[in-house]
């Protein structure tokens, strides 16, 4: 068994959770915050049998879109005499950041 930890954008979460549930995957949705943008995102935990892993990853890849967002410069609050402190930069977020980890044990009590 694997545990998929997928960090996705809020805008994609509803559709992806519905699609995963329709295909019979178990899903837990967490409201999370990205460290860089300090904005809300969504983390999904999906415990899957090994043979269903690829199908789940395929759905995540299909339904999560990359988007451009403006962010405050990483130099905000620092930099030489604050010269660049408010310079916005464009970053491309997602589609999805996905970690797949081996599950040592799985219990339901
Ligand atoms: P955030 O940390 O808010 O990052 C949002 C986007 O900002 C990132 O998109 C990336 O394009 C950009 N970014 C992040 N750190 C940067 C930096 N130091 N300099 C310039 N640009 C930077 P994604 O890479 O698609 O990541 C989306 C979200 O996934 C992240 O939100 C974070 O919540 C999560 N994430 C990404 N990599 C991770 C990792 N290695 N471990 C844990 N969470 C991660
Ligand atoms: P929920 O997804 O809200 O599911 C609540 C309960 O509804 C489940 O209890 C199960 O009895 C039932 N249920 C879920 N999906 C169903 C379906 N497709 N058809 C019929 N009944 C269904 P539990 O199995 O004890 O799960 C409790 C919570 O644990 C779940 O809440 C979910 O948040 C999490 N979870 C369970 N299995 C998971 C997995 N494989 N991966 C990630 N999270 C899981």
**Per-residue pLDDT tens for 39-60?**
999 999 999 999 999 999 999 9
* Separation between Cα atoms, residue 76 and residue 57, nearest integer Å: 36
* 10 CA to centre of ligand 1 in angstroms: 14
For the segment 25-43, what is each residue's pLDDT rounded down to a tens digit? 999 999 999 999 999 999 9
* Separation between Cα atoms, residue 40 and residue 11, nearest integer Å: 10
- The pTM is what? 0.93
* 38 CA to centre of ligand 1 in angstroms: 10
Radius of gyration of the chain (CA): 17
- Ligand that comes closest to the CA of residue 41: 1
Q: Which helix (H) or strand (E) holds 40?
A: strand 40-48
Structure tokens at 33: 């915050």
């Amino acid at each position: 068994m694997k545990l998929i930890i997928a960090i996705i954008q809020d805008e994609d979460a509803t559709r992806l959770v519905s699609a995963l549930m329709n295909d019979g995957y178990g899903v837990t949705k967490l409201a999370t915050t990205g460290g860089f943008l300090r904005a809300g995102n969504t983390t999904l935990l999906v415990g899957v049998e090994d043979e269903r892993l690829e199908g789940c990853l395929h759905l995540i890849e299909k339904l999560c879109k990359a988007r451009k967002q403006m962010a405050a410069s990483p130099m905000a609050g620092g930099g030489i005499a604050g010269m660049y402190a408010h310079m916005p930069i464009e970053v491309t977020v997602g589609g999805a950041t996905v970690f797949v980890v081996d599950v040592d044990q799985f219990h339901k009590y």
